Structure 1
Amino acid sequence: MALILTLTAIFLLALSGIAIWYFLHSRHLAQGGKVAKKGAEGLPFRWRYIIVPLVILSLAIILTAFFYHRLPAEVAYRFQADGSPDRWLARETITLWMLIAQLCLTLLAGAVVWGVVKLGILPRQTEDAWIEPPKLLSLMGNMIGLPQLIIGFAMLDIFSYNSYQTHIMPIWLFALIVMGVGGIILGFFFTLAIQRAWKAIK
């Protein structure tokens, strides 16, 4: 269930990012010659555009360092509805896979932002933009932190159970909360874009 929710979150975030990019890029194309001129003055890369993925990756490394020697040789990583374990992996394997997942998502966030910056898709100037380009880049990079949060919570829950025989909360519930927060954030930006577009039309 947790894996399905995580993949769903990644899929929805990817679609949202593509939709926002297409929305703004189409508008820039409609401006004709101004697009090429503005594209040459693209935004620079800023670490704050991916600060959330970086922080979550750092926290995952810290959690792993703290719990690693408290874990048994065989770690329960999958649980039944009543919270009892039904599958185990070696301690080294489960921690490695969790960290690799966090690293891959962090690299994905960096690649998305770097690619947009390198291609000059978003202009530095913002007077005509429906969403300010720096805010859009920050949204695109940091929203990838949401599936990272789900994976990070799953890691913490696994560590907690195997170290103290205690679950924090159901992973599916945490995933729903995270996706709900992500939906609110995306809704806010879409509402802002629609409001600015409506004012521009008027």
Structure 2
Amino acid sequence: MIIPILILIIVLLLGLGGGGALWFVFRRRQPVKQTATEATVAFHWSYIILPLVILFLSIVLTAYFYHRLPAEVAYGFKFDGSPDKWLSRGTIILWLLIPQLFLTLLAAAITWGITKLGILSRQTDSNQIKPERILSLMGNLVALPQIILCFALADIFSYNSYQTHIMPLWVFALIIMGLGAIILSVFFIRVMRQAWGATR
């Protein structure tokens, strides 16, 4: 009984840490390189800090639980929580870690590509929202599906190691999607206020 509580505490601490990291990233001003023709934005690891943290946490959870898992791991569950689908231990770990890696690389590729192309440098001026904040939001929002995958990983590991579920995955996914909607709404409102203030 104590292990699921510890896992829940870790997930909550991760959420608080992620929120703190988002706050830190959005409050911090990033340096901007100047060229002869226009300002360009440089790539910073802070643009993808949350996907990196979630990937690292998933790897740590996998390393911790790997030897505690049976050879056949239950991954699909009925509405009452009983298992109905099984895979081998190696296969389920690959199915859960490869998307994490892919999403982290996707966040890095998007933010790095945009900084190299200079798209945001041409689209924004000093009165509008800073390109660094847009890049931070774009790169770190990829962590939302990663958080859901990490929770699914923790729940699968918890069930197969201790026969307990942390909470239903659909409830957790709704919570994360709600938080994502709130983050996007706050960002959109801030952009609209700045754009409206610039036109006055």
Output the TM-score relative to the length of structure 1: 0.78
- What amino acid does structure 2 have at the position aligned with 1:165? Q
Q: Where in structure 2 are there 5+ consecutive unaligned residues?
A: 1-35
Retained in 2: the 8 A contact 1:61–1:99? Answer: yes
Q: Within 5 Å, which residues of 2 pair with 1:4-153?
A: 37-38=37-38, 41-123=39-121, 127-129=126-128, 131-153=129-151
What's the offset of the Cα at 1:196? 1.0
Give the counterpart of 1:181 among 179, 188, 191: 179
Q: 1:6 maps to which residue?
A: none
Rounded to whole Å, the distance in 1 between the matches of 2:172 and 2:37 is 45
- What amino acid does structure 1 have at the position aligned with 2:127? D
The alignment partner of 2:154 has SS state of helix
The alignment partner of 2:192 has SS state of helix
Q: 2:31 maps to which residue?
A: none
CA RMSD of aligned residues (A): 1.5
What's the offset of the Cα at 1:128? 2.4
What's the offset of the Cα at 1:178? 0.4
Rounded to whole Å, the distance in 2 between the matches of 1:73 and 1:92 is 8
Rounded to whole Å, the distance in 2 between the matches of 1:103 and 1:72 is 24
The alignment partner of 1:87 has SS state of strand
1:4-54 deviations in whole A, cap 9, x for unaligned? xxxxxxxxxxxxxxxxxxxxxxxxxxxxxxxx943xx21111000000000
Rounded to whole Å, the distance in 1 between the matches of 2:51 and 2:181 is 18
Output the TM-score relative to the length of structure 2: 0.79
What number of residue pairs does the alignment pair up?
164
Rounded to whole Å, the distance in 2 between the matches of 1:37 and 1:156 is 50
- What amino acid does structure 2 have at the position aligned with 1:151? L
What's the offset of the Cα at 1:96? 1.2
What's the offset of the Cα at 1:197? 1.2
What's the offset of the Cα at 1:122? 1.6
Give the counterpart of 2:153 among 152, 155, 174: 155
Q: 2:194 maps to which residue?
A: 196
Q: Where in structure 1 are there 5+ consecutive unaligned residues?
A: 1-35
- What amino acid does structure 2 have at the position aligned with 1:119? L
The alignment partner of 1:89 has SS state of strand
Rounded to whole Å, the distance in 2 between the matches of 1:136 and 1:142 is 10
Rounded to whole Å, the distance in 2 between the matches of 1:126 and 1:47 is 23
Rounded to whole Å, the distance in 2 between the matches of 1:121 and 1:150 is 30
What's the offset of the Cα at 1:162? 0.1
